[in-house]
Homo-oligomer: A and B are copies of this chain.
Amino acid sequence: MLDRFLVVSGVASLCSLAFVVYLARYVLSKPQGTEKMAAISRLIQQGARAFLFREYMYVFPVVLTIAVLFTVVGAARPDLGLNWATAIAFVSGALASLLAGFLGMTIATRANARTTYAAETGGVKSALDVAVSGGAVMGMGVVGISLLGLVIVYKLFNGEPAIVNGYAMGASLLALFARSGGGIYTKGADMGADLVGKVEAGIPEDDPRNPAVIADNVGDNVGDVAGLGADLLESYVESIIASLAVAAAMNTVMYTAPEYVRAFPFLVAAIGVFASIAGVMYVKLFARTNPQKALMMGTYLSAVLSIVGVGLYSWARGQSFELSGVAYQWYGPFVSCVLGIVSGTIVGFTSEYFTSGSYRPVRRLAEGCQTGAAIAVTEGTAVGMQSTALPVLVLAIANVAAYHFAGVYGIAVASLGMLATTGMVVAVDSYGPIADNSGGIAEMSGLDPKVRKITDNLDAVGNTTAAIGKGFAIGSAAFAAIGLLSAFIITAELQSKLVLDNPRVLSGLLIGGMIPFLFTSMLFRAVGRSAFAMIGEVRRQFKEIPGLKEGKPGVYPDSAKCVDIATRGALNGMMVPGILAILFPAIVGFMPGLGPQALAGMLVGAIATGVMLGIQMANSGGAMDNAKKYIEEGNYGGKGSDAHKAAVVGDTVGDPLKDTCGPSINILIKLMCVISLVLAPLFIG
């Protein structure tokens, strides 16, 4: 018999997919503009698709190896519950991520020229409509595909945690590769295009003469659309499964209402689907001339709707329950959800304060740029580090409070609260790169500058709304990781052994604290290497292709070469850190002298440094970016001044921080937690 909550969730996910079909058809029904615009869009599509295929070819053997290992372990030790079924769930999670990423990117890369054309013919409102619809395909696709997959896996294997957790692990692993690979791609191409094109050759951004400009536009899609989609898919899945895993781990001592605590995460997800659809429709229907306001209101609307929905459901059920022998009121999980949303919003607004040109930190940073690049970078780093304080205090307090209302389960549910409206959040986040791309197409096709003005405006307005999405991503990562960690501790039967003065725990903590640093250094270096190669290639083309730099008609750069360099840089750069992230939990967990106690310490250490680095890097990068924009608006000498040059250096340093390393670390800590959770049965006794 199907549980009712699975039916509701399954129906919701199908609604989400139906909405995706409607949106995709809507986008594709729009005209692409001139043949030149369509041709550029096609180049971007081809580059992006080629990258994704090659990325999947790299990741496939890793997924397969892990699936085989699960099967082998299951055959050798049938008592552990870790077996071929886990392998299937794991592969399903990976496939869900792959599908959602592919679908979203296919539409996004088709929405770009259509947005440009809409801007040219219909103005802001039409362009916003196309871009948001394109972004929402990604957003609702992520939610619909991953939730449907989870419902199926959960039903197939009767919610057996040792199996269902594999689904989260698959989604998480794919996300790490997609985020880090996409991030290296986009920043390597971006730095390469900017440093030679804008700085050395002195030609504008997105100028068709620049050989790296197609790679740069492809990068926006594979990094900021496909990478981001995989990222939020894993966050979403992870927060649902963290709640389920905690509930399951506490099952041995659960007395009443086990069904309620299992059903709750699925129902929050279902409510979130409808709230997100409402938010997207609001933007499509009611946006007028102020796109900023429309996106903001849409986001608020879906958040409020999901809070109201969850509140009504909780109240209607009125189900109090016990976990590990402690009684909680019916409103416990609901309050935890709200705590999650409120703290996520505060984290988001803090990001906004520290990274927007409207407030003191960025303005002071812009002022500091007058004394040169060194102080720009130093101040930018300082802004990011300072910005960790309030979010961490808020998360720390919300953590204790959520525990008070619903135990560890409450902490996991707080994470889910933030991610219930993932559909809407991803729609807003993916909208940005579409607008960005459409501006690039306007530039490359030589359209009237007023078109570029509209698309630039669209590109700029998403940032505040995206900041809230970032706050949710960071906050939910912390809570989901804590939830998974707790489930690991209970499952591996380590509860009483993990005292802080246990030397294994402390050694594990130090090792875990180091991992995000090591991981970041690898991504950093990969971006640097890729940019280094790109710079060499762009310089070579400008030198060796006669007439290219001067813009002689009929002379085209060799874009394909640059796309290839970015692709290879990304693929080579993402493998080692990704595999290390998989191996660390296994090595520490099985190493004599360390073992599972050290592993638990390691996870905690990784959460501690990972959350800080995640916030710092996101906000340092954002602040440096906007300080540059603030100067470009004419402050402190404006474009071309010494302050601007310093700010460009700062922005170039900040870019990989905010778009490659920061988001990857959020995934890294959850991936290590979920791997440990899946391996937990091996550590018992």
Residues of B within 8 A of A381 (CB): 521, 524
Question: Is A674 an interface position by the 8 A CB rule?
Answer: no
Residues of B within 8 A of A377 (CB): 377, 649, 653
Cβ-closest chain B residue relative to A386: B521
Residues of B within 8 A of A608 (CB): 509-510, 512-513, 605, 608-609
State which of B499, B528, B612 has its C-beta within 8 Å of the C-beta of A375.
B528
| Binary contact readout A368-389 vs B (1 if CB under 8 angstroms, 0 otherwise) | 1001111101110111111011
Nearest Cβ distance between residue A15 and chain B, in whole angstroms? 36
Q: Quick one: given A478-B510, A510-B395, are A501 and B408 in contact (CB under 8 Å)?
A: yes
Q: Which of A605-654 contact B (CB under 8 A)?
A: 605, 607-609, 611-612, 616, 648-649, 652-653
Cβ-closest chain B residue relative to A650: B374
Residue contact B532 to A375, C-beta cutoff 8 Å: yes
Residue contact A499 to B496, C-beta cutoff 8 Å: yes
Residues of B within 8 A of A510 (CB): 392, 395-396, 399, 478, 607-608, 611
Nearest Cβ distance between residue A337 and chain B, in whole angstroms? 17
**Interface hit among A431-439, A444-452, A454-462, A481-489:** A481-489
Residue contact B511 to A396, C-beta cutoff 8 Å: yes
Q: Quick one: given A400-B593, A507-B400, A510-B395, are A371 and B531 in contact (CB under 8 Å)?
A: yes
Residue contact B371 to A373, C-beta cutoff 8 Å: no
Residue contact A486 to B501, C-beta cutoff 8 Å: yes
| Binary contact readout A392-426 vs B (1 if CB under 8 angstroms, 0 otherwise) | 11011101110100001001000000000000000
Q: Which of A471-519 contact B (CB under 8 A)?
A: 478, 482, 485-486, 489-490, 495-496, 498-501, 503-514, 517-518
Q: Quick one: given A397-B593, A400-B593, A513-B612, are A498 and B496 in contact (CB under 8 Å)?
A: no
Question: Is A520 an interface position by the 8 A CB rule?
Answer: yes
Cβ-closest chain B residue relative to A504: B400
Residue contact A500 to B604, C-beta cutoff 8 Å: yes
Complex: A408 Cα to B527 Cα, angstroms? 42
Question: Is A195 an interface position by the 8 A CB rule?
Answer: yes
Cβ-closest chain B residue relative to A652: B374
Cβ-closest chain B residue relative to A389: B518
Residue contact B374 to A514, C-beta cutoff 8 Å: no
Q: Quick one: given A377-B653, A503-B400, A609-B612, are A509 and B604 in contact (CB under 8 Å)?
A: yes
Question: Is A440 an interface position by the 8 A CB rule?
Answer: no
Question: Is A656 an interface position by the 8 A CB rule?
Answer: yes
Most buried by B among A403, A506, A531, A653: A506
Question: Is A600 an interface position by the 8 A CB rule?
Answer: yes
Residues of B within 8 A of A332 (CB): none
Question: Is A191 an interface position by the 8 A CB rule?
Answer: yes
- One complex includes copies of this chain to the number of 2
Residue contact A385 to B517, C-beta cutoff 8 Å: yes
Residue contact A517 to B616, C-beta cutoff 8 Å: yes
Nearest Cβ distance between residue A194 and chain B, in whole angstroms? 9
Residues of B within 8 A of A514 (CB): 388-389, 392-393, 612
Complex: A384 Cα to B517 Cα, angstroms? 9
Residue contact A195 to B392, C-beta cutoff 8 Å: no
Q: Quick one: given A378-B653, A528-B379, are A371 and B195 in contact (CB under 8 Å)?
A: yes
Most buried by B among A531, A607, A649: A649
Question: Is A525 an interface position by the 8 A CB rule?
Answer: yes
Cβ-closest chain B residue relative to A616: B517
State which of B395, B400, B495, B513 has its C-beta within 8 Å of the C-beta of A611.
B513
Question: Is A535 an interface position by the 8 A CB rule?
Answer: yes
Complex: A417 Cα to B27 Cα, angstroms? 69
Nearest Cβ distance between residue A568 and chain B, in whole angstroms? 18
Question: Is A582 an interface position by the 8 A CB rule?
Answer: no
Question: Is A69 an interface position by the 8 A CB rule?
Answer: no
Residue contact A195 to B372, C-beta cutoff 8 Å: yes
Residue contact B379 to A525, C-beta cutoff 8 Å: yes
| Binary contact readout A22-46 vs B (1 if CB under 8 angstroms, 0 otherwise) | 0000000000000000000000000
Question: Is A522 an interface position by the 8 A CB rule?
Answer: yes
Cβ-closest chain B residue relative to A187: B378
Cβ-closest chain B residue relative to A486: B501
Q: Which of A198-214 contact B (CB under 8 A)?
A: 199
Question: Is A594 an interface position by the 8 A CB rule?
Answer: yes
Question: Is A601 an interface position by the 8 A CB rule?
Answer: yes
| 21 pairs, CB–CB < 8 Å, chain A vs chain B | A368-B528, A368-B532, A371-B531, A371-B535, A372-B652, A374-B649, A375-B528, A375-B531, A378-B527, A379-B525, A384-B521, A385-B517, A386-B518, A388-B514, A388-B517, A397-B507, A399-B506, A400-B503, A478-B510, A490-B501, A605-B608
